[in-house]
Amino acid sequence: MKKIYNPKKDTWSKLLERPTQTVADIEETVLSVFNEIKTEGDFAVKRYTKKFDKVTLKNILVSQNEIEEASKLISEELKKAIRIAKSNIEKFHAAQKTDKIFVETTNGVSCWQEKRPIQKVGLYIPGGTAPLFSTILMLAVPANLAGCKEIVLCSPPNKEGNIDPAILYTANLCGVTRICKVGGIQAIAAMTFGTESIPQVYKIFGPGNQFVTVAKQLATKFGVAIDMPAGPSELLVVADDTANAAFVASDLLSQAEHGKDSQVILVSTSKELIDTVEKEVEKQLLALPRKEIATAAIANSKLIYVENDQEALEIINEYGPEHFIVCVANEDFYVENIANAGSVFIGNYTPESAGDYASGTNHTLPTNGYAKQYSGVNLDSFMKSMTFQKISEKGIQNIGNAIELMAAAEGLQAHKNAVTLRLESLK
């Protein structure tokens, strides 16, 4: 990992760059796939699955028999772990429900807000080198709590044309209504336009590689909403001499093993800790099955020394990490003042992997600096807020003249007339 000591503020922008391609670099490829799937449907989906995933699909949809067989391949211990995580995630997200908000803004004018579920949602679940069945819990659980009627899941098949059994088991457990053996750009395009097998959805959720991220962004040009432009995973740890260096190294590696384009950063006020963490990373890396992937990600990563907590906080807010771990004596300073982070993990015994799996918070979070303006997925992500109003005769008399004056000042005579006619009818 590259060490940087006391970086000057005018170098922060370059220092904190992510190891990702720009949208322009890959948008042409994504748009080409979109255009073909829009016109050719399932045929193009299968063609691109053969090209990108090296598998010829017979059926795009997963059958009930496949789901039942997958359940037999999952150990009871893993099933129990998944159910524990599901229970915690349900508790945390159910607590986010809000009641109808009702206000009488003036006598005779009633306004209220109610939430309605998004009827059709699409969930993208990465498969590839790591089948992220945990992401199903993070997306399907709140989708069901919100009341979404149609929950479509897309995940890339393996070389045998199958989806990982844990993905199928978890999807069935969480009430997914349709499971599709499709990944990558073609999955996002299919959910954007709809094909013979894959329904069109109103909003797409889920993380993915850079191609999936750009595909989701492109989907918004065709009337489909997305959760956020979430791309390669990232983690920033702030730590001082009170931190456990082995714990810090394990957290850095837990994100580095996600993908070669992941990035992890340690910001510290202790040079000694930085040196110790670096050694721990090298030692722990040797024992990882995904050593090659983690090593590539570590090459994108940095160890940054700063003089004090205030400067550390400024760098962290400038970066806007997806995951932010606080392991310092003065943890309240960071917890109270952090402005830009997807999810925050506090203390030596709060690993980021707890949030990935079973603590209850959602792990679908903004990356690439988008934590500055996006929230992570939550119950409201699957809902829309609708406003209602009802005005009585007395109410229109109370606010009618104000409406007439404002409409006339804007030169919108029909708006004024809509009120004037009603007021005159009450004379």
Q: In terms of Cα–Cα distance, which of 261, 341, 202, 302 is closest to 25?
A: 261
Question: What residues are designated binding site?
Answer: 124, 186, 209, 233, 255, 258, 323, 356, 410, 415
What is the distance between the alpha carbons of residues 330 and 308, in angstroms, rounded to a whole number?
11
Q: What is the CATH number of the domain that holds 418?
A: 1.20.5.1300
Q: Which of 342, 360, 378 is the last residue of a domain?
A: 360
- Confirm whether 372 is domain-assigned: no
Dist CA 346 CA 325 (whole Å): 6
**What tokens does 343 get?**
């999810």
- Quick one: which of 377, 365, 370 has its CA closest to 233? 365
CB 387 within 8 A of CB 113: yes
Order of strands, sheet of 150-154, starting from the edge strand that comes earlier in the sequence: 178-180, 150-154, 120-124, 203-205, 225-226
Angle between helices 165-173 and 64-72 (to 10 degrees): 110
Are the beta carbons of 112 and 102 closer than 8 angstroms? yes
Q: In what order do the strands lie in the sheet with 101-106?
A: 101-106, 109-117, 383-391
Q: 210: which residues sit within 8 A by CB, 6+ positions away?
A: 20, 21, 26, 231, 232, 261
Position 21 scores a pLDDT of: 58
Structure-derived torsion over alpha carbons of residues 16, 20, 26, 31, reported in degrees to the nearest 10:
-80
CATH number at residue 283: 3.40.50.1980
Asked if the structure places residue 301 within a domain, the reply is yes
| 373 within a domain of the structure (yes/no) | no
Same-domain check for residues 99 and 220? yes
For the entire predicted model, the pTM comes to: 0.93
Binding positions for Zn(2+) are: 255, 258, 356, 415
Catalytically active residues are 322-323
Residues forming the annotated binding site for substrate? Answer: 233, 255, 258, 323, 356, 410, 415
For the stretch 289-346, pLDDT in tens is 999 999 999 998 999 999 999 999 999 999 999 999 999 999 999 999 999 999 999 9
Residue range of the domain that includes 287:
2-20+232-360
Nearest to 153 by CA among 139, 166, 142, 165: 139
Q: Is 351 found in the same domain as 213?
A: no
Are residues 191 and 251 located together in one domain of the fold?
no
**Domain identity same for 172 and 303:** no
What is the residue-averaged pLDDT of the chain? Answer: 95
Q: Which residues are annotated as a binding site for NAD(+)?
A: 124, 186, 209
Q: Which amino acid is at 388?
A: F
Number of domains making up the chain: 3
User: What ranges make up the beta strands (E) of 157-218?
Assistant: 178-180, 203-205
Same-domain check for residues 62 and 201: yes
List the pLDDT tens digit at each of the 427 positions of the chain. Answer: 899 999 999 999 999 998 865 667 789 999 999 999 999 999 999 999 999 999 999 999 999 999 999 999 999 999 999 999 999 999 999 999 999 999 999 999 999 999 999 999 999 999 867 789 999 999 999 999 999 999 999 999 999 999 999 999 999 999 999 999 999 999 999 999 999 999 999 999 998 888 898 999 999 999 999 999 777 889 999 999 999 999 999 999 999 998 888 999 999 999 999 999 999 999 999 999 999 999 999 998 999 999 999 999 999 999 999 999 999 999 999 999 999 999 999 999 999 999 999 999 999 999 989 999 999 999 999 999 999 999 999 999 999 999 999 999 999 999 999 999 999 999 8
Residues 154 and 104 in one domain: yes
